[in-house]
Structure 1
Amino acid sequence: MEIAIPSAANISLFIGAALVLLLIPGPAVLYIVARSMEQGRLAGFVSDLGIHTATLVHILAAALGLSALLASSALAFSIVKYAGAAYLVWLGLKKIFGHADAPAGDETLVRHSHARLFRDGFIVNLLNPKTALFFFAFLPQFVDPERGHLAMQIAFLGLLFALLGLVTDGCYALVAGTAGRWLKHSRRYLGIERYVSGTLFIGLGLAAALAGHRKN
């Protein structure tokens, strides 16, 4: 069976965009930081593993759902691509003009077993509809319809994103005892982060929309 993956250029762009998004601490990272500070680095790694195991479920859903839709017609592909780009821009605007995310773990967290930490991380990410919507918006921007096997391409990109997330979030767990304490409590960080991440979401969405326009 032929294995179809996006072009090398698309993969490079995807890795760059994914790393930029992953390196900006969000709620999942702050949760991992809080767990690492409360119960040690291993607890942070276990929470990280639980979160990204749930990511695999979202990736499977995106691969099955998007591939069926995108394979139906070129028009469907364009609609999904532009809708995804619009959603990314909306996320950026909401991040900038909405309420800042509350710091995770301001209160003392209850200590749990590693099995419970894995389960909690898994459930939190699995039941987060924003994660599912993000993959539906983000992954199609880097798929090459001419290469076929859309489900395989989407799954490949999703697995690559999950692997990158596992590594970057693991790094946050590793340094949570130092930088994590500042990140969790710094009001200045929370004020800056919303504008940086919001601008990046908007830029990614606009770039995806313009790229799609040039291909038509």
Structure 2
Amino acid sequence: MLTAQELIWFALVALALVLTPGPNMIYCISRTLCQGRAAGMVSLGGVALGFVVHLLGASFGLSALLLAAPLAFSALKLAGALYLLWLAWQAVKPGGNIFAPTLAARAAALPGVAMPFETRALPHDPPRKLFLMGFMTNLLNPKVAMFYLSFFPQFLHPERGQVLLQSLSLGAVQITVSLAINTVIIFFAAGLAVFLNRNITWMRVQRYVMGTVLGLLALRLLTEKRTA
């Protein structure tokens, strides 16, 4: 099974990712600002279900790949580590556009463009629709699928057996971190929206934090490959 150190590393990456403004955060904050915290939590429930679908697809897919073609699994693991390095460079390079120029940063730089977290006249939708929209927002987010396919193989150890169980354990950590952070975000949505809309400095800081975490993780993984 996975060690405590491996789970901590994975939780750290999951934390850095969830703190980066994206479709899920924007949707939950927008619904909270328009309809209140209850609507935000219902929307988050839909987001959580989307994570579960992504998790099951990745877990069963990676397990099947490992059984069918172990060399392909190893290639995917190496490609994932290189992908993390690429993401780290995209985050910290001058004018990088993976993490830093979120919708808020772009809106601040372009006159006449609405800020992503400002209150809008959105319709007051029923809980069922809020849940479904949260689910679809996450399900159709390609970055979530890329996260599972690039990060999971780095922490899976086929020699320990129970690859599917290892994948589900990683997913449980990621979903727990995401739900915990997004719950806090929902409860402080109004203040956080103002902060994200106005504080471009934070946008710059979080890109370097994210780039550093990704870079260190990728280098650690590549170093382990060389010394294995």
Deviations 1:3-52 (A, max 9, x none): xx423332233233323333344342233222222221122212221112
Residue 148 of structure 1 and its aligned partner are, at CA, apart by 0.9
Q: Aligned to 1:98, what secondary structure does the other structure show?
A: coil
**3-state secondary structure, aligned to 2:117:** coil
Are positions 1:200 and 2:199 aligned together? Answer: no
Q: How far does residue 146 in structure 1 lie from its aligned partner after superposition?
A: 1.6
Mapped pair 1:210 → 2:206: no
The gaps in structure 2 that reach 5 residues or longer are 105-115
Residue 102 (1) aligns with residue 115 (2):
no
Contact 1:36 1:44 in 2 (8 A): yes
Q: Determine the C-alpha separation between the residues in 2 that align with 1:184 and 1:117.
A: 24
- Extract unaligned runs of 5+ from structure 1: none
Contact 2:117 2:193 in 1 (8 A): no
Partner of 2:111: none
From 127, 134, 153, the counterpart of 1:114 = 127
What root-mean-square deviation, in Å, do the aligned CA atoms of Structure 1 and Structure 2 show?
Answer: 2.2
Aligned residue number for residue 203 of structure 2: 190
**Whole-Å separation in 2 of the counterparts to 1:212 and 1:182:** 41
| Larger mean Cα displacement after TM superposition, 96-105 or 53-62 | 96-105
What does residue range 95-174 of structure 1 map to in structure 2 within 5 Å?
95-96=91-92, 97-98=96-97, 100-103=101-104, 104-106=116-118, 108-111=120-123, 112-174=125-187
Deviations 1:167-193 (A, max 9, x none): 111111111122332123433333333
Identity level (%): 35
User: Match of 1:192, as an amino acid?
Assistant: V
Contact 1:172 1:180 in 2 (8 A): no
- Is 1:33–1:180's contact at 8 Å kept on the other side of the alignment? yes
SS of 2:103's partner is: coil
In structure 1, give the amino acid aligned to 2:57: A
Summarize the Cα distance change of 1:95–1:12 in structure 2 as closer, same or farther, 3 Å threshold: closer
**Correspondence list, 1:52-67, <5 A:** 52-67=48-63
Q: TM-score, normalised by structure 2?
A: 0.82
Q: Distance in 2 between matches of 1:95 and 1:32?
A: 24
Q: Give the SS at the match of 1:71.
A: helix
CA distance, structure 2, for counterparts of residue 169 and residue 68 of structure 1: 32
Change (3 A) 1:31 1:191: farther
What is the TM-score when the length of structure 1 is the normalising length?
0.86
> What's the CA shift for 1:135?
0.5
Q: Could you tell me whether the CA contact under 8 Å between 2:55 and 2:168 is conserved in 1?
A: yes
Number of aligned residue pairs: give it: 211
What letter is aligned with 1:102?
L
Once residues 115 and 173 of structure 1 are traced to their aligned partners in structure 2, the CA distance between those partners, rounded to angstroms, is 18
Q: CA 1:169–1:148 in 2, change beyond 3 Å: closer, same or farther? A: same
CA contact 1:35–1:109 (8 Å) conserved in 2: no
Q: Distance in 2 between matches of 1:39 and 1:53?
A: 21
Over residues 185-209 of structure 1, what are the superposed CA-to-partner deviations in whole Å (9 max), with x where a residue is unaligned? 4333333333332332233222222
The aligned counterpart of 2:88 is: 92
Letter in 2 for 1:60: L
Shift, 1:154, TM fit: 0.7
Which of 52, 72, 79 does residue 76 from structure 1 map onto?
Answer: 72
Q: How has the CA–CA distance of structure 1 residues 25 and 74 changed in structure 2, closer, same or farther, with 3 Å as cutoff?
A: same
